[in-house]
Amino acid sequence: MRYLLCLSIFCHAVFGLPSQANHTQPPVIDLNYARYQGNRLAGGVDEFLGMRYASSPVGDLRFRAPQDPPTNNTLQSATEYGPICIGVGEEETTGEVSEDCLFINVFKPSTATPQSKLPVWLFIQGGGYAENSNANYNGTQVIQNSGDGLLFVTFNYRIGALGFLASEKVRQNGDLNAGLLDQRKAINWVKQYIEQFGGDPNHIVIHGVSAGAGSVAYHLAAYGGRDEDLFIGAIVESSFWPTQRTVTEMEFQFEILTNETGCSDASDPLDCLRDQDIATFQKGNTASPFPGGSSSPLPDWYWLPVTDGTLVPGELYRAFDKGNFIKVPVLVGDDTNEGSGFAYNATSSADVSRFFRNNYPHLSDQQLEKINQAYPLGEPLPRHAAYFSASSAAYGDATFTCPGNLVASSAAKYSPDAVWNYRVNIIDESNIAGGIGVPHTFELPAIFGAGSTGTLSSGSSYLTYNAGIIPVTMHYFISFVLALNPNTYRYLSAPEWKTWGNGERLRLQTNDTAMEVIPEKSLELCVLWQELSEAMEDRMSVRDLTTKQWISSLFEPGQILLWAFKSYVKVNVETVLRGQILAPLLHPSRLRDEAFGRFWVTFSTNRESDAPPPPPIPTSGEIQGSSDLIPPILSHASGIVLDVGPGTGTQMPLLRSPAIQTIYGAEPCHGLHAELRARAISEGLSDKYYILPCGVEASDLIPALQKQDLLNTNTTNPTAVLKNLENTGDGVFDTILCVRVLCSVPDMQQTIQSLYTLLRPGGKLLVVEHVVNPWRTRKGSIIARAFQAFYGLLGWSWYMGNCSLNRDTATALRIAAERDGGWESFELERWFQSTAMPYIAGVLVKKGNK
Ligand SMILES: *[C@@H]1O[C@H](CO)[C@@H](O)[C@H](O)[C@H]1NC(C)=O
Ligand SMILES: *[C@@H]1O[C@H](CO)[C@@H](O)[C@H](O)[C@H]1NC(C)=O
Ligand SMILES: *[C@@H]1O[C@H](CO)[C@@H](O)[C@H](O)[C@H]1NC(C)=O
Ligand SMILES: *[C@@H]1O[C@H](CO)[C@@H](O)[C@H](O)[C@H]1NC(C)=O
Ligand SMILES: *[C@@H]1O[C@H](CO)[C@@H](O)[C@H](O)[C@H]1NC(C)=O
Ligand SMILES: *[C@@H]1O[C@H](CO)[C@@H](O)[C@H](O)[C@H]1NC(C)=O
Ligand SMILES: *[C@@H]1O[C@H](CO)[C@@H](O)[C@H](O)[C@H]1NC(C)=O
Ligand SMILES: *[C@@H]1O[C@H](CO)[C@@H](O)[C@H](O)[C@H]1NC(C)=O
């Protein structure tokens, strides 16, 4: 009986009565979790406004991924927009601006039914990740102009500190990049429910403007470019790429925010931030200078997406460069003067440098000088100071136009026939008189129709001499949404829009729309920005170490050593006091292992959770930086995973990806197992994470794997088992993680060799390890190498659980694949080369098919 009842509700939900075009009857939609009644407009369009696509992200849900909306069986009104999300420096206003803002809006032809399966245009608004700037656009005109051929969807997502607070504390007890997760939730919502409205869940085109277009770039590159079949085309309108930083680099924001909201002394500052009422919280939802920058001018953009190792595995420039993105047809372009709305009103080249440093604080003096040379004093612009044109052109290229070109050229490498680029050059006299040329996103009314993007002023040129560009622009966009090609249904008089080729684009200009070749000079400038991208998007790199930081980095291992030594002394003293007077002499290794275990637990938990460490470790951004190497590398983990030496499982939050099937943590130190297990439970991985009580030497590991039934062999001799795998070419693991472990295995070459054998063909070895100093490559390295040797003499490996400072792990890794003629791909990068703890980090892929 109950079963039948459930079934009938289900049927009603899925095959809910199709809404007929009937002007006297408002349309109703049933979404299983809620029923909504929308508006039926005179023009043959239904609108469903202000539907919840996620629960209200308040209270404990602050700084967390969006959750499913609650179920409500009452018919709800969807005839008015929900409030937009509260942004940087804003106040709540009833019904208009709120923290409770995760609403979505659908426009559909009134005639569309669940059988219609029309293409879906999903629009992601912009606002610099600081506000919801393009909310509540009206889809009526594009639907009408498409011949009732599509559905149009808009939504709000969290921005500012509520959307993009980054800290290890958030990673541990919340979610990074919540604003981007909101967007994914909305995209998934559309995928799940749009059929009810008459849309085709397999024909969704995402279109972002500005930060929304930056977001589209993030969704193309999400999870390393993993295709989850969420969309089949992308429109990238004036893609905004501000500085992208690591979590460590953003901790300063967390500190300022907690201070300004009265949470810095709370026992758990993140809980405190969740408890604050919104008015108090907003006191800290403001901008401050980046470390290394000044407050004049303040950075244009402050709360931003960060490298989180999963959704955002690394820098956008690198992702597109390396082809780590989803290959779908792309429409991408920019305005002639992208920077004019944001650039500093500079009076000198020094002003330009200060503006750039404040927005991209890792740029060095030399790099700033290069920028000045590339963008010299130009023609003065009306109502602006002498160097405004230089600062505007440089900022426009750096932050919008060159990223857009990169998306186009990268996508064209894979699908040359499915990439179209444009430059908007719609001339408006009042913009020209104001000195801002053709500014950022000026074309929005031309895409959606006059009046659809907010009320136009009566003097707007779109109502007079620029009216002619509207149908031209709108129909290219409609055509792309319908056919994934802007030409198929283009406007009668509009020219053919050729693909990117070697750098060709369509100029969208009233009465003068035509193809044009991108000038050589512009392409050269983009090469410059590509070169600078590492400093602009990336973590601090070694050349940024000041002498002071470098010296302190040399002494840092000494401090760690001292800490471990103290733990050793303590353990010895305690043992003697317990009456085991001779233990230090009779069982030195046992005591040393115990001391190291204790040291490591405090050391690693302090590192990862930022609790005040007993002996303070100096935070020279650099060495701290080594933990920043881990998330982007671990994001590549998938399938059956071997986690070598997980310790207490501090890396586990990075292993939540659904692409991971099972994880085996090989941890020889039994004392850590309880904590490791507890961590697996708290991370929700208890049914995925298995602890193997063993090391990774073959003699230890192989029997443990046999016990788990992971090896199907007729022998128990580890060497024979490996030989067998070698001969058959089989393997056990899809991914093996080596994070700070290879320094301490007894026979590294042997161990790496057997790990290599255990990898399946096509499997990945993910490596983050510190290595011997490569003294030949960088200035100061001879000294750093001498320091390594010195710490060795002081007994580093004795106190540090057999860890060795001077291993050439990279070479050992390379050699391991020699019998197969090398790795399929061997991407190791070196970091912190001038310090006494240089690192290698990267992904090695074994040859053969998966
Ligand atoms: C529209 O709805 C009204 C009220 O339910 C009904 O009486 C009428 O017949 C409908 N008209 C059409 C054209 O379906
Ligand atoms: C369900 O929706 C109705 C109508 O909008 C509203 O009054 C009610 O509070 C909602 N119930 C819940 C539990 O949210
Ligand atoms: C959208 O535009 C149509 C046509 O101009 C209008 O009737 C409708 O009220 C608009 N919707 C909203 C929510 O403003
Ligand atoms: C915290 O705020 C107080 C008063 O606003 C200020 O004086 C102090 O410098 C701030 N501390 C930090 C670490 O920002
Ligand atoms: C820029 O600076 C110049 C000269 O200092 C000034 O005349 C002009 O009004 C400023 N323009 C803007 C938009 O601030
Ligand atoms: C474009 O052409 C139309 C019709 O000839 C004219 O009215 C309009 O002013 C022109 N606009 C521009 C910007 O040239
Ligand atoms: C075990 O199996 C391998 C290959 O399947 C075979 O070559 C070997 O002779 C077998 N050994 C024993 C002891 O049966
Ligand atoms: C260090 O190596 C020795 C000898 O190989 C071994 O007995 C000891 O358990 C190792 N210690 C650690 C912490 O791995």
Ranges in the chain annotated CATH 3.40.50.150: 629-846
pLDDT at 108 over 90: yes
pLDDT at 544 (0 to 100)? 53
Measured from the CB, is residue 354 less than 6 Å from ligand 5? no
pLDDT at 625 (0 to 100)? 63
Count other Cβ atoms within 10 Å, centred on residue 385: 16
pLDDT at 27 (0 to 100)? 96
Protein residue closest via CA to atom 11 of ligand 2: 72
Count other Cβ atoms within 10 Å, centred on residue 520: 9
Q: Compute the distance from residue 800 Cα to the ligand 8 centre, in Å.
A: 10
DSSP for 680-697 reads HHHTT-TTTEEEE-S-SS
pLDDT at 622 (0 to 100)? 33
Measured from the CB, is residue 262 less than 6 Å from ligand 4? no
Measured from the CB, is residue 138 less than 6 Å from ligand 3? yes
pLDDT at 802 (0 to 100)? 83
547-577 helix and 781-793 helix, angle to the nearest 10 degrees: 10
Provide mean pLDDT across the span 404-418.
Answer: 97
Which tens digits make up the pLDDT trace of 127-180?
A: 999 999 999 999 999 999 999 999 999 999 999 999 999 998 998 899 999 999
pLDDT at 20 over 80: no
Return the best residue to mutate from 76, 77, 80, 103 for the ligand 2 pocket (most ligand atoms within 8 A of CB).
76
Provide mean pLDDT across the span 698-726.
Answer: 89
Measured from the CB, is residue 596 less than 6 Å from ligand 8? yes
**538 or 674, which is more confident?**
674
Q: pTM to 2 decimals? A: 0.72
Q: Compute the distance from residue 264 Cα to the ligand 4 centre, in Å.
A: 10
Measured from the CB, is residue 468 less than 6 Å from ligand 6? yes
Measured from the CB, is residue 546 less than 6 Å from ligand 7? no
Measured from the CB, is residue 467 less than 6 Å from ligand 5? no
Measured from the CB, is residue 762 less than 6 Å from ligand 6? no
Q: Strand 689-692's sheet: what is its strand order? A: 689-692, 660-666, 639-644, 733-739, 759-770, 839-845, 825-831
Provide mean pLDDT across the span 566-573.
Answer: 90
Measured from the CB, is residue 714 less than 6 Å from ligand 7? yes
Protein residue closest via CA to atom 5 of ligand 8: 746
- CA-to-CA dists, residue 497 to 262, 337, 447, 515, 516, angstroms: 56, 22, 16, 7, 10
Give yes or no for a contact between 320 and 216, defined as CB atoms under 8 angstroms apart: no
pLDDT at 16 (0 to 100)? 35
Helices (H), ranges, 148-268: 160-164, 168-172, 178-197, 211-221, 247-260
- Cα separation, 460 vs 448, in Å, equals 15
Protein residue closest via CA to atom 11 of ligand 7: 714
- CATH number for domain 118-176+183-257+293-537, candidates 3.50.50.60, 3.40.430.10, 3.20.20.140, 3.40.50.1820: 3.40.50.1820
Protein residue closest via CA to atom 8 of ligand 4: 259
- Cα separation, 90 vs 653, in Å, equals 33
For residue 715, the ligand 7 atom closest to its alpha carbon is: 13
Q: Compute the distance from residue 469 Cα to the ligand 6 centre, in Å.
A: 9
pLDDT at 293 over 90: no
Protein residue closest via CA to atom 8 of ligand 3: 41
Which tens digits make up the pLDDT trace of 485-513?
A: 999 999 999 999 999 999 999 999 999 99
Measured from the CB, is residue 23 less than 6 Å from ligand 1? no
Helices (H), ranges, 205-297: 211-221, 247-260, 269-275, 278-282
Catalytic positions: 210
Provide mean pLDDT across the span 783-803.
Answer: 86
Provide mean pLDDT across the span 536-561.
Answer: 72
Give yes or no for a contact between 760 and 847, defined as CB atoms under 8 angstroms apart: no
| Total length of the chain | 850
Provide mean pLDDT across the span 374-399.
Answer: 97
- 85 strand-pairing partners: 98
The single residue listed with the structure tokens 């060799």 is: 753
- CA-to-CA dists, residue 642 to 646, 788, 814, 823, angstroms: 10, 30, 20, 19
Q: Compute the distance from residue 668 Cα to the ligand 8 centre, in Å.
A: 10
Protein residue closest via CA to atom 4 of ligand 2: 76
- 307 strand-pairing partners: 246
Ranges in the chain annotated CATH 3.40.50.1820: 118-176+183-257+293-537
Protein residue closest via CA to atom 2 of ligand 4: 259
Q: Compute the distance from residue 802 Cα to the ligand 8 centre, in Å.
A: 6
Domain 629-846 belongs to what topology?
Rossmann fold (3.40.50)
Measured from the CB, is residue 272 less than 6 Å from ligand 5? no
pLDDT at 15 (0 to 100)? 35
Return the best residue to mutate from 140, 154, 456 for the ligand 3 pocket (most ligand atoms within 8 A of CB).
140
For residue 25, the ligand 1 atom closest to its alpha carbon is: 2
The single residue listed with the structure tokens 């890794």 is: 813
Return the best residue to mutate from 347, 383, 387, 431 for the ligand 5 pocket (most ligand atoms within 8 A of CB).
383
pLDDT at 23 (0 to 100)? 66
